[in-house]
DNA sequence: TAGATTGTTAATCGATTAACAATC
DNA sequence: TAGATTGTTAATCGATTAACAATC
């Protein structure tokens, strides 16, 4: 019976729901309807309900969703109870920005280890975190049983870094290098190709 | 007859094609098949051909695509001949990373103007670029006829910044603030919500 | 001619949306 | 009870893929 797979688009909306619930929760709101939740995010209420329905029945008909109940469920669904330890490879501008981005830590996503080919040459805003040389990659990942890695190195070096990460035990990669990584099927890769966003705006303004 | 609209997914793949062509071009390759192009990006050849077919017939049957011809066409389609001038609002870590990201300039996407609420307090890697105070927003945008803006301010301030940008004449916004902007229909917004990427990896590892 | 590869049609697959019974 | 809102089915819409004639 449960032969239905969750659409990938649904999975990408769940974090939005979670964050919006955090917001209304901090405002003291205790119950929210799919309409209100959707309006806050530009998503139809019918889609909100459909998305949630892949995971259970979290609301009450005629009433809505209890904010704290839905948050707790989404947190679990998204794996945010795991307190992930994450390694970042590449401490350039973008890497530093990611480490300093405040939003991750409170979600249980901790970028605790940073590596770079030239740790001594890094200038910027990473004063309080130790930067390891690339030679320590295997050690850092194995010793801390790290499963998630971020690649923020230039395109040329990304494939080699990815291979090493996987050899060391990493299972999921958030890839900011503008290149297609060829990796085993069971490794989860999320490409975050920043230039697509800006180029697509250029496209829309021109057409 | 031409009542067919291009899928949004196609539009997001065009930049990938363009960049891959740049790469093979720099390697001296003059002709490429849809199969080769697709393999380099993890995209089926049939999809490559379908995507391109929305814009014209760029290849030769039995032969493939001439790299420079296809590049020239894609460049035009993507609007990269326009030499866009772009304004960035918010010179924090992420904003600085975007300004210093090398890939944009060679695509004719020039982040030439940076604004921040506290221009004097910015420390980091923007030594060579002037940072304007927010009061100059309208002036900078109007005087330079800027159509594309990047928002890299905290979520709380993003809607207000977006409103001002649009009042000044901006038509497309690349939004890094983790919030849903409510804007007129004719304004093109691209949300680049960084936390989605990392949270979805957490999801996949947990399910 | 034989082999390769495009461009396009039709079939399939996946995601969104409308509609409404269930129920608070 | 009357009004509101969920959860779910079925219909629609959109995107991908298979297949193949056209043609180099």
- CATH classification of the domain holding B96: 3.40.50.720
pLDDT range class, residue B68, cuts 50, 70, 90: very high
Statement to judge: residues B92 and B193 lie in one domain: yes
Q: Read off the pLDDT of each residue in B138-163 and give the average, rounded to a whole number.
A: 98
Of the residues A39, A62, A77, the one at which a domain ends: A77
**Helix (H/G/I), strand (E/B), else coil: A84:** strand
Q: Read off the pLDDT of each residue in B91-100 and give the average, rounded to a whole number.
A: 94
Q: Read off the pLDDT of each residue in A10-19 and give the average, rounded to a whole number.
A: 98
pLDDT of residue B142 exceeding 50:
yes
The answer to whether the CB atoms of A78 and B124 lie below 8 A apart is no
According to the model, what pLDDT value does residue B3 have? Answer: 56
Of the residues A30, A60, A77, the one at which a domain ends: A77
pLDDT of residue A135 exceeding 70:
yes
**Helix (H/G/I), strand (E/B), else coil: A163:** helix
Say if A140 falls within a structural domain.
yes
Cα separation of B78 and B66, whole Å?
A: 18
The answer to whether the CB atoms of A109 and B82 lie below 8 A apart is no
Say if A205 falls within a structural domain.
no
Q: In the 39-68 stretch of chain A, whose C-beta falls under 7 Å of nucleic acid strand C?
A: 44, 46-47, 49-50, 60-63
Are A139 and A164 in contact by the 8 Å Cβ rule? The answer is: no
Number of domains in chain B: 2
According to the model, what pLDDT value does residue B121 have? Answer: 80
Q: Read off the pLDDT of each residue in B132-155 and give the average, rounded to a whole number.
A: 97
Integer angstrom CA distances of residue B204 from A19, A102, B200: 18, 22, 6
Render pLDDT for B177-196 as a digit per residue (tens, 0 to 9): 999 999 999 999 999 999 99
Handedness of CA A52, A54, A55, A58 (dihedral sign): positive
pLDDT of residue B143 exceeding 90:
yes
pLDDT of residue B207 exceeding 60:
yes
Nearest-CA residue of chain B relative to A189?
B201
Of the residues B31, B53, B77, the one at which a domain ends: B77
Long-range contacts formed by A33-38: CB under 8 A, 24+ apart: A33/A64, A33/A65, A34/A59, A34/A64, A34/A65, A36/A64, A37/A65
Q: Is B8 within 7 A of strand D by CB distance?
A: yes
Are B5 and A190 in contact by the 8 Å Cβ rule? The answer is: no
Statement to judge: residues A91 and A57 lie in one domain: no
Say if B2 falls within a structural domain.
no
- Where b means 16+ CB within 10 Å and e means fewer, A54-67 reads eeeebbeeeebbeb
pLDDT range class, residue A3, cuts 50, 70, 90: low
Taking all residues of chain B, what is their mean pLDDT, rounded to a whole number? 95
Q: Is B3 within 7 A of strand C by CB distance?
A: no
Q: Which residues constitute the domain of residue B148? A: 84-197
According to the model, what pLDDT value does residue B122 have? Answer: 79
Strand C: which bases are under 7 Å from protein Cβ? 3-9, 14-19, 22-24
Domain CATH code at residue A73: 1.10.10.10
Cα separation of B114 and B99, whole Å?
A: 9
A106, with CB counted inside 10 A (0-12, 13-18, 19+), is: exposed
Are B200 and A15 in contact by the 8 Å Cβ rule? The answer is: yes
Handedness of CA B1, B6, B7, B8 (dihedral sign): negative
Q: Read off the pLDDT of each residue in B67-92 and give the average, rounded to a whole number.
A: 97
Say if B205 falls within a structural domain.
no
Instruction: Give the CA count within 13 Å in the CB-facing half-sphere of A58.
Output: 25
pLDDT of residue A103 exceeding 80:
yes
Q: Read off the pLDDT of each residue in B101-115 and give the average, rounded to a whole number.
A: 94
The answer to whether the CB atoms of A147 and B205 lie below 8 A apart is yes
Q: Which two tokens stand for residue B45?
A: 């050849």
Statement to judge: residues B183 and B109 lie in one domain: yes
Q: Which residues contact A96 (CB under 8 A, 6 or more apart)?
A: A122, A124, A125, A126, B93, B97
Statement to judge: residues A106 and A51 lie in one domain: no
pLDDT of residue A6 exceeding 50:
yes
Q: Read off the pLDDT of each residue in A195-199 and give the average, rounded to a whole number.
A: 96
CB atoms within 10 A of CB B201: 25
pLDDT of residue A2 exceeding 70:
no
Say if B94 falls within a structural domain.
yes
Q: Read off the pLDDT of each residue in B22-27 and give the average, rounded to a whole number.
A: 97
Is B35 or B121 the better-scoring residue by pLDDT? B35
Statement to judge: residues A92 and A188 lie in one domain: yes
Integer angstrom CA distances of residue B155 from A24, A167, B141: 14, 38, 22
């Amino acid at each position: 019976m449960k032969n239905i797979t969750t659409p990938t688009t649904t999975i990408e909306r769940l974090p939005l729901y979670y964050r919006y619930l955090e917001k209304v929760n901090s405002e003291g709101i205790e119950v929210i309807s799919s309409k209100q939740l959707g309006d806050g995010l530009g998503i139809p209420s019918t889609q909100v309900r459909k998305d949630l329905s892949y995971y259970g029945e979290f609301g009450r008909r005629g009433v809505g969703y209890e904010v704290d109940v839905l948050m707790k469920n989404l947190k679990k669904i998204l794996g945010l109870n795991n307190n992930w330890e994450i390694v970042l490879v590449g401490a350039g501008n973008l890497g530093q920005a990611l480490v300093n981005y405040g939003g991750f830590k409170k979600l249980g996503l901790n970028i605790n280890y940073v590596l770079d080919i030239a740790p001594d040459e890094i200038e910027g805003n990473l004063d309080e975190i130790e930067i390891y040389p690339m030679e320590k990659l295997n050690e850092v990942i194995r010793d801390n049983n790290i499963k998630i890695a971020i690649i923020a190195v230039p395109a040329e070096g990304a494939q080699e870094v990815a291979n090493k990460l996987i050899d060391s035990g990493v299972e999921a990669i958030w890839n900011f290098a503008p290149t297609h990584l060829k990796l085993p099927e069971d490794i989860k890769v999320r490409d975050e190709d920043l230039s697509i966003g800006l180029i697509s705006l250029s496209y829309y303004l021109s057409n």
